[in-house]
A and B are shown apart, each in its own frame.
Chain A
Amino acid sequence: MSNIRKSMFNGEIAKHAVKESFIKLNPMFMIKNPVMFVVEVGTFVVLMMVLFPSYFATEDQLGFNISVFLILLFTVLFANFAESLAEGRGKAQADSLKKGKQEIKANKRVGLEIKIVNSTELRKGDVVIVSSGEMIPGDGEVIEGLASVDESAITGESAPVIKEAGGDFNSVTGGTRVVSDEIVVRITADPGESFIDKMISLVEGAQRQKTPNEIALNTLLTCLTLIFLIVVVTLAPIAKHFEIDLPIPVLISLLVCLIPTTIGGLLSAIGIAGMDRVTQFNVLAMSGKAVEASGDINTMILDKTGTITFGNRMASEFIPVGKMSKKELGYWASISSLKDETPEGRSVLELMRKLDYTIEDTIATGGEFVEFKAQTRMSGIDLKDGRHVRKGAVDSVRKWVESQGGLIPADLEDKANVIASDGGTPLAVAVDGVIYGLIYLKDTVKPGMKERFDQLRQMGIKTIMCTGDNPLTAATIAREAGVDSFIAESTPEDKIEVIRREQSEGKLVAMTGDGTNDAPALAQADVGLAMNSGTTAAKEAANMVDLDSDPSKIIEVVAIGKQLLMTRGALTTFSIANDVAKYFAIIPAMFMVAIPEMNVLNVMGLGSPLSAILSALIFNAVIIPLLIPLAMKGVKYKPMGASKLLSRNLIIYGVGGVIAPFIGIKAIDLIVHLWI
């Protein structure tokens, strides 16, 4: 799938787009795009004059009229091609999704029996059993069991993920495959409404609705078209008064050159391509509106764990307390972690290796591992010789030691606080009634995050970090990562409150989340990005889903949203600025025969009136395909402040838009003038 996405001018897609651009000539389609519809009507009028020259008394202008007709036709076709090309990329993606969506046999549980049915017959609430090697027949929740599931069909990620009943990892997607074990799934979507179905219709663009900004822009473009229609229609009777005869094809040429065909032809392609860029990024936007809104984001709420930091806290130092030595502490810490498979446990052993301490595990043989429990907040090992080794939260370990009548070293509290204030988590290590010291667990900030937050600041976006850590730890990480503010010991309710507060100040808020308790906040946020690994509730509340489940992607999504809006603005400015040069080409050409003095306005020194009009018209047509790559890729976007960004784009697309057609039309005229 990914290689299909990559090549833009994939032969198959291009061929299909060519075909589509002819099909789209149907006026019923065209009328949706008023600017290009006017061009099509003009094309039709000129075609009539070409076909029935005697009726219109235009026999002597047949050559010119044919040229105008062809150029106009191509103008419309180019615009249609741009749209089809953008749609084509989405269609190709949808097709490959559809391939994976074959009819699947499902083991439906009816009472105590198992019935084999087709997946299309499954309804919401049905319960199915899926065993290793089988496809999951529809979207649902795991209600029993645990299994690893290969979700590469939707995510492209080949490593299987664990799905289990209860908790935040219970949602499964139809069309994915169970690789090991067996699960019982309750179906949550009727056929046709599943995640893959939604995804197909989204990437296909079938449900594409114009975004609010697109509608507003379309209004402006339609209005400009009407204005120029008035200009051209009223010009003919006035000119007639001066015995200047303006043939209809010339008037149509003037009209087509003046109306904003460049942006009119590319507008929907820009929108589709913007959505597509998000999809290529493996993020599924539920609507174009969401992508547009992401460009407007003022505040971003990010979870600390997994987004800003790696999340697994690593042992980075041994800090002995009382009269204990570092070596003793390391010894017992490693004993307690020998059978501990958690990342924290493994990192203790890694630290031992790093410090070149030897791990003596003989004493532990035959010992009984004690797992971490939420109630005890400790783990460790009960040795054969009767000693109990524990490591865990400082509070818990202290209570455990005190309960056995042990003494608490005076410096324990202070040292633990120092670790916490540095953003770390202290783990106390104790053997029966004796505390040996602390393991300094450090949460590491992902590389490059600080630079990204700097960029966001330049874009005017405020970042708020949410974490369950205590305020001291949170402050340290926040400082290290460079976020603007943080909420420590945060609950899901805190997030909603922060979002509401920011929104009441007129800000647009983006956030990421995966758990069911994130769902209300995801719904409240203007842009909510749910992780595909998350719960169905979270995915439904969000307006985007990240198939790779990488929460830091929200930053790129914002950039894509901005790029989409910029592309639209840049091409609109370019299109309108073009009119200056076109006027200087066509106006003198129209009046020069009757008023020879008008040649002063022919600043480009175009060869002849007819060649001037054709050159302007050709420029107007070819600029559309020339700008297709820009429309599809989007204008270059570097994070910077609004003023800088504006001056840069204004020079390129505004000033450039005034100058470029002067050069282009002159160049085309040099060639066209060879014939006329």
Chain B
Amino acid sequence: MELLQMGIVIVVLLLLVKPVGTYMFHVFSNEPNRTDKVFGSTENVIFKIIGLRNRDSMNWKKYVLSFIATNAVLIAISYLLLRFQGMLPGNPSGIENMEASLALNTIISFMTNTNLQHYSGESGLTYLTQMAFVTMMMFTSAASGAAIAVAFIRGITRRGEGLGNFFQDFTKAIIRIFLPLALIVTIALVGLKVPQTFDPTATVRTLEGVEQQITMGPIASLEAIKHLGTNGGGFFGANSSHPFENPSPLTNVIEILSMWLLAASLPYMFGLFAKNKKQGWVIFSSMMILFLIFLSISYSSEKAGNPAINSLGIESSQGSMEGKEVRFGIAQSALFSTVTTAATTGSVNNMHDTLTPLGGLAALSEMMLNVVFGGKGVGLVNMLMYAILGVFICGLMVGRTPEFLGRKIEAREMKLIALVILVHPFIILVPTALSFMTASGYDSISNPGFHGLTQSLYEYTSSAANNGSGFEGLADNNVFWNVSTGLVMFFGRYMSIIAMLAVAGSLNAKKPVAETIGTFRTDNKLFIGILIGVVLLIGALTFLPVIVLGPVAEFLTLH
């Protein structure tokens, strides 16, 4: 029954990938199509206002610059909003201004699509900032990510035409994808009894006669974009395990699908751009195989339960239910955790700190790889980067200098890719080590054993992968953690995006090489194997020592 539950969700996803991928292709291919009638006029008004008449294709530098400038403006506005939220309207519950280091961390967190929250939504943000900052950032950071992915794809599939126009991609992503989908999901969630209101916190007298404060607000709308944009920042501190955010198994499935769908459809869209659907399916299959591996680890480990608790004679036939919601059970929790760390959403419907060691390992590994579907756009870009790496290493074995999609992979591309694969372990391992070497870092780690290492490691991995979920046992709202995770999120997002767009720009400018029978094929089953192999050998081996010392040691000593 539980397997069936997970199976159905996966099948529904598989059925949706093709239509959604095709739709996204039509949105970004910029060729006239039927949806222009619906959205064209709205977009044209926006383009007119911002003075974007020609919408010329940009080279990679201009694209990156537009992306960064847009993000910088949004960061500046948000900083003012948060620092003065107490004085601004839309604050019926009387919440105070946000402290500087926390504000910085929060803004970086939302701008980078991470949504790591060192504050609690119900007490830290006003209704205005929940909407004008959180919801706004959820749209814009997701649209930025989508634009980056599309630009990268254009760069490597089209010939010398530049990467597209950032402002156009950004606007289209919001108008044609995120807004309509968010509207549908919001209505569905409201229909399933998720609150959507501007009323202030309700005060009720319980049967026992005590007064209880019940926080409410515009939750359904936030919930929709939180998942569609793989953002993950919850309205409440308890995130999607809170009954207002995620009241039933059905809303749970809707949330899983909304965070998974766009990320899973991107490879198909890529196939259409590459004019080779098989190429898209190869990327999709590699991601799906890795996903299924991690899901099985997570599910079987959670199902097996915690031997320490089992030995106490506590009934545990359901599995390890510590930190999980009874209304979801093991299957819906394991699936949610695997999807949220795969798609780097970071919303949680159960406490990741109480996952069994191997269940936590699965979640951790997906974020370390950051290619199993991955966040809006970034996952696909990363997977394509591994594809280029795989081509570079194995492609030589067919006796030709390596080429991917008809372009030679040369020193310039390798230098940029080297930077990306170097930065990721650097921003995870170095701060983790620092947190053990400094008192201010170490004091926040609440668990003395191997689990303590996992706590710190998880926090930085989640930041680096722009996931945002946390092992919430960590007492992380202090200057050390706010600043360090802020920097990690920042570099995790911008370094790799800039470097990868530079790769796309460089490949785009290259003279394409002809394909013959002697060419290394990247659209067959063998390449799926190569891709997974390269991801595991280069992406995963890096983290093996710390993983062994963290979750694996915890697992081994528990038995």
Contacts and interface: CB of A to CB of B under 8 A. Distances in A.
A374 interface: no
Nearest to A648: B397
Given A508-B513, A643-B526, A572 B518 contact: no
Contacts of B406: 506
Nearest to B406: A506
Interface in B203-219: none
Contacts of B395: 569
Nearest to B533: A654
A220 B521 contact: no
B548 A587 contact: yes
Contacts of A595: 553, 556-557
Contacts of B425: 227, 230-231
Given A242-B549, A563-B399, A600-B556, A641 B422 contact: no
B430 A579 contact: no
Interface in A182-237: 212-213, 215-217, 219-220, 222-224, 226-228, 230-235, 237
Interface in B491-517: 511-514, 516-517
A640 to B, nearest CB: 9
Given A231-B545, A237-B437, A565 B414 contact: no
B50 interface: no
A637 interface: yes
B450 A597 contact: no
Contacts of B511: 506
Interface in B43-89: none
A235 B545 contact: yes
B396 A298 contact: no
Given A237-B436, A566-B399, A591 B533 contact: no
Contact of B520 (A217, A238, A642): A642
B410 A212 contact: yes
B421 interface: yes
A118 to B, nearest CB: 45
Given A220-B414, A298-B514, A642-B520, A230 B426 contact: yes
B519 interface: yes
Interface stretch (B34-42, B125-133, B307-315, B534-542): B534-542
B181 interface: no
Interface string B422-460: 100110011011001100000000000010110000000
A237 B546 CA distance: 11
Contacts of A637: 399
B556 A295 contact: no
A299 to B, nearest CB: 9
A573 B393 contact: yes
Given A295-B399, A597-B556, A507 B545 contact: no
A647 B521 CA distance: 11
Contact of A577 (B392, B400, B524, B537): B537
A216 B392 CA distance: 9
A227 B399 contact: no
Contacts of B437: 237
B486 to A, nearest CB: 20
A242 B545 CA distance: 14
Contacts of B546: 231, 234-235, 238
B537 A598 contact: no
Interface in B164-201: none
B94 to A, nearest CB: 43
Nearest to B557: A597
Contacts of B409: 216
B542 A227 contact: yes
Interface residues of B, number: 64
A224 B539 CA distance: 11
B422 A227 contact: yes
A49 to B, nearest CB: 22
B512 A238 contact: no
Interface in A516-545: none
Given A213-B396, A458-B517, A600-B556, A238 B401 contact: no
Nearest to A292: B401
Given A580-B537, A643-B521, A568 B453 contact: no
A587 B545 contact: yes
B520 A461 contact: no
Nearest to B456: A238
B537 to A, nearest CB: 6
A277 to B, nearest CB: 14
B406 to A, nearest CB: 7
Contacts of A298: 513-514, 516, 518
B44 to A, nearest CB: 38
A649 B548 CA distance: 32
A242 B450 contact: yes
B483 interface: no
A459 interface: yes
A627 interface: no
A569 B397 CA distance: 5
Given A216-B414, A227-B421, A296-B401, A568 B396 contact: yes
Contacts of A238: 432-433, 436, 453, 546, 549
B396 A591 contact: no
B526 A646 contact: yes
A223 B548 contact: no
Contacts of A226: 422
A97 interface: no
Contacts of A583: 541, 544
A653 interface: yes
B415 interface: yes
A414 interface: no
Given A222-B418, A238-B436, A576-B393, A591 B398 contact: no
B444 to A, nearest CB: 14
Given A212-B411, A231-B425, A296-B400, A646 B394 contact: yes
A579 B541 contact: yes
Given A572-B396, A587-B548, A642 B519 contact: yes
Interface in B368-420: 389, 392-402, 406, 409-411, 413-415, 417-419
A570 interface: yes
A603 interface: no
Contacts of A577: 537
Contacts of B519: 460, 642
Interface string A477-514: 00000000000000000000000000001111000000
A565 B399 contact: yes
A593 interface: no
Nearest to A236: B433
Interface in A139-194: none
Nearest to A594: B553
A541 B406 CA distance: 28
Nearest to B400: A296
A637 B396 CA distance: 13
Interface in B195-243: none
A295 B549 contact: no
Contacts of B411: 212, 215-216, 219
A213 B400 CA distance: 10
B397 A295 contact: no
Closest 7 CB pairs between A and B? A569-B396, A460-B518, A562-B399, A460-B516, A223-B418, A597-B556, A234-B433
24 contacts: A219-B414, A220-B389, A220-B392, A234-B430, A235-B549, A238-B436, A238-B546, A240-B436, A506-B511, A565-B399, A569-B395, A569-B398, A572-B396, A576-B393, A576-B538, A579-B541, A580-B537, A591-B553, A597-B556, A597-B559, A601-B548, A641-B518, A645-B399, A646-B394
Given A241-B452, A506-B406, A653-B397, 6 more contacts: A230-B426, A296-B401, A298-B514, A505-B514, A562-B400, A642-B518
